[in-house]
Amino acid sequence: MANREQWGTRIGLVLAMAGNAVGLGNFLRFPVQAVQNGGGVFIIPYLVSFLLMGIPLLWIEWSIGRFGGRSNNHSTPFIMDSMDRRSFWKYVGVFGIFTNIGVAAYYCYIESWTMSYVFHSIIQTFTGMSQEEVAAFFVKYVDVGKSTTGIPFESVLFYLICLGLNTYILSRGLSGGVEKVAKIGMPLLILFGILLAVRGITLGNTGLCADCDSHVGMNFLWEPQFDKLLDLKVWFAAAGQIFFTLSLGMGTIQCYASYVRSKDDIALNAMSAGWMNGFVEIVLGASIVIPISVGYLGLDWVKENAGFSMAFQTMPYLFNQWGAFLGSFAGVMWFGLLFFAGITSSLAMGTPWMGFMQDEFKWSRPKAAFTFGLLVLIMGLPTVFFFQEGFFDEYDYWAGTASLVIFATFETILFSWIFGIDRGWKELIQGADMKVPVFFKYIMVFVTPIFLIIILLGTLITPKNGDWQKAFTEKYELDHGSLIGKLTHSNIVANRSWFADRFESEVSGIVTDAYSDQKNHYVIISDETGQVIKTYAQPITKELAVSVGDKVEIATPLFRGRFVNPIFYLDLSRLMLLALFIFISVLVHKAHQKRKKIKRIYL
């Protein structure tokens, strides 16, 4: 069965592309990045990065996709193969399927939280809860063994519903499924966003604390700190934000664009989808979380707690302040908005796998959709069950961060230098409904690859706390969050084996308390001044190995018994991702053999 997918309308394609880019990060990552990196002045490196890296990369990915589609290739392994016949590129293209399955595995879990929180907003679960109770609700929710509604394995159930919904929509195809969701989801997302942003901007002084004023929050976000413009960290943060917000380096844009015919426009479509994402991020994203949070909790609280978790652990409490009905309505809007942002992205993640299986193995659409759901389920269930053990974060880093930068760097080099910018440029401007400024040709050849190589190096050898200034002018120290730091588990100083018969201290100090209750043993380690450094708790089935007054060093045993250390889960998650990459590479190899057998001509 040949792959006969087609977009229904141009607007549908643009909305689906914008939906692919618009994700939870537009509402949660952007404002936090802005406040941490110069406030209003952050927009300067942000827009410069958009101009020099974002727009060129969007055009590169759209062009690569449409070029591949011409020879009936709809996923990056054989799209890249059609651009350069050396085998290497096929396997680089594996990233364009691997990343999507790896990211969908945990992304669908976040999406299921938004779905569940819409449900809880409707049944008014959060009404009357304090800030601490709302935060505790989330912790309980992600603890698989506990239930917030009495439904056993509630978080697993919502995950399965969410994944099932994604699979069903994907099985309906591009125009019948993905595009329909984008046409409903994107306008609703923007409407909900506008309503909440208006509320955020007009909230003003709530009188709950000295600086509980949404305008203080907006000031915090937009006050330009011009001195930060000289800080390299700010430029890195802005380039990273542009890269991730546009869903670049994933292989989804290429897949969507591969269904566009050569005579139809891609240049204007890419600009429109890219700027629509910018609108959602800069206009709506900046006007909701920070202003409303400062309005009710004050600036100091936000400075300390600003981050991704605010969406689930704080926002329901803030909406509570508007009364039961309005609070519930606002909750539905907020989590509904996040749900639409999530589902339009997760659907995009399904299409490269489907395109690949339909193209190469002639699978039917439902079969391809079902296997995508199954793969995501196999990869994703550990993120649900071992969320607390760090499975989720590992997937996010390796599949959702490092892989994207690596893939984008390679595809840019392929497009601009190997395929050739002249052919690439011709592909971009063919059928264009806008005049593409010629200077972008030179940006694509020189500036964008340099930008990406810098980001790649920055990811590889991030200095401590991302402080490049200090790294260049004073002393360079590797950050634990850098790729090399992550790879070597540089942050794990003790308990470095998967299984052990002792649990070691991760800090040095003096045991100031060691006691047991009915459930656990506790050990409290303090410094010489008596300041508590770390508290450890282990089940009563283990054996205490220290007593009060003992001096402990890093790796001194604190408990004895049988232990499975966190490093086991981290390595297991990496092995699963590696297995996925190898599995897709084998499929690509098989597909290549098949092509050779039937002498399929590419161009």
Structural contact between residues 274 and 85, judged by C-beta atoms closer than 8 angstroms: no
Structural contact between residues 61 and 253, judged by C-beta atoms closer than 8 angstroms: yes
Among 393, 400, 392, 448, smallest CA distance to 424 is for: 448
How far is CA 73 from each of CA 76, 398, 472, rounded to the nearest angstrom?
A: 8, 26, 45
- Determine if residue 497 is left, alpha or beta; phi over 0 gives left, psi from -120 to 50 gives alpha, anything else beta: beta
What end-to-end distance do the CA atoms of the chain give, in Å? Answer: 21
**Minimum gap (Å) between residue 278 Cβ and other proteins:** 5
Which CB sits closer to other proteins, 390 or 431?
431
Amino acid at residue number 83 = M
Which CB sits closer to other proteins, 124 or 430?
430
Which CB sits closer to other proteins, 30 or 236?
30
Contact positions toward other proteins, by CB under 8 A? 6-14, 39-41, 43, 175, 215-216, 218-219, 221-224, 259-261, 263-265, 268-269, 271-272, 275-276, 278-279, 282-283, 286, 431, 433-434
Which CB sits closer to other proteins, 68 or 509?
68
**Minimum gap (Å) between residue 368 Cβ and other proteins:** 19
Helix (H) or strand (E) holding 562: strand 557-564
**Minimum gap (Å) between residue 249 Cβ and other proteins:** 23
How far is CA 523 from each of CA 209, 423, 504, 515, 546, rounded to the nearest angstrom?
A: 37, 66, 11, 7, 8
Q: DSSP alpha helices (H): ranges in 430-464?
A: 439-442, 448-460
Structural contact between residues 260 and 104, judged by C-beta atoms closer than 8 angstroms: no
Which CB sits closer to other proteins, 283 or 374?
283
**Minimum gap (Å) between residue 265 Cβ and other proteins:** 7
**Minimum gap (Å) between residue 13 Cβ and other proteins:** 8
**Minimum gap (Å) between residue 215 Cβ and other proteins:** 5
**Minimum gap (Å) between residue 493 Cβ and other proteins:** 43
Which CB sits closer to other proteins, 271 or 523?
271
CA–CA distance, 121 with 320 (Å, rounded to integer): 10
**Minimum gap (Å) between residue 286 Cβ and other proteins:** 8
Amino acid at residue number 447 = V
Enter the tokens of residue 454: 């810098």
Residue that the structure tokens 């390299």 belong to? 232
Which CB sits closer to other proteins, 258 or 401?
258
Helices 154-171 and 365-385: angle between axes, nearest 10 degrees? 160
Which CB sits closer to other proteins, 156 or 436?
436
Among 457, 430, 488, smallest CA distance to 240 is for: 457
**Minimum gap (Å) between residue 433 Cβ and other proteins:** 5
Q: Is the dihedral of CA 359, 361, 363, 365 positive or negative?
A: negative
**Minimum gap (Å) between residue 111 Cβ and other proteins:** 25
Which CB sits closer to other proteins, 201 or 567?
201
CA–CA distance, 472 with 334 (Å, rounded to integer): 42
Which CB sits closer to other proteins, 13 or 399?
13
Among 182, 236, 223, 189, smallest CA distance to 26 is for: 189
CA–CA distance, 114 with 344 (Å, rounded to integer): 13
Cα R_g (the chain), whole angstroms: 25
